[in-house]
Amino acid sequence: MRDHTPDFKLHELSLDNKMLIRQTVQQLLEKLAADGKMTGESHLEFWVELPGLKHPRGTFRGGFLMPDSFVYLGDYFQSDLRALQPASEYSSTGEGLKKAWDDMLDELYYQVEIFTSGHASAKGVTLELWAGNRQRPEGEWSYAVDRKVELSHAL
């Protein structure tokens, strides 16, 4: 049996890029919650565009674009509130909201690092982020807030 795992070296994101991603995601999720649109099915999606690399976005039979990856927000935050509150698994500690953010962002950083691992520099790497609600991850958005950011030069 052959191993089809790609052979790559994972590059950790720089502190500047982690901070840029954190600030962007916080703005998106705060807007999502303030608008009363954070549900149990809400998720954060992203696409990564690398300069000079053809990276076709997948589609499903219905013609919907497939994200590079996504994170279910209900794993980290409560739904149906107008402010971000940690999920019940996190609320038993005094630092529940901080821990929920840290865990969610660690997962997101890791996923972004996988998609950017083919480049030694972040120059020209664009990260598109959406937070909201779809019919399944591949369906049309019923509500979304989005932002596109360019990562700084050092991964």
Chunk the chain into consecutive blocks of 10 residues (it has 155) and report each block's average pLDDT, rounded to whole numbers. Answer: 63 91 96 93 88 64 67 92 89 85 95 81 82 78 91 73
pLDDT value at position 106? 95
pLDDT of amino acid 20: 95
Supply the pLDDT for residue 102: 96
pLDDT of residue 123: 72
- pLDDT at position 21, please? 95
pLDDT of residue 135: 72
Q: What is the pLDDT of residue 25?
A: 97
Tokens of 150: 């360019």
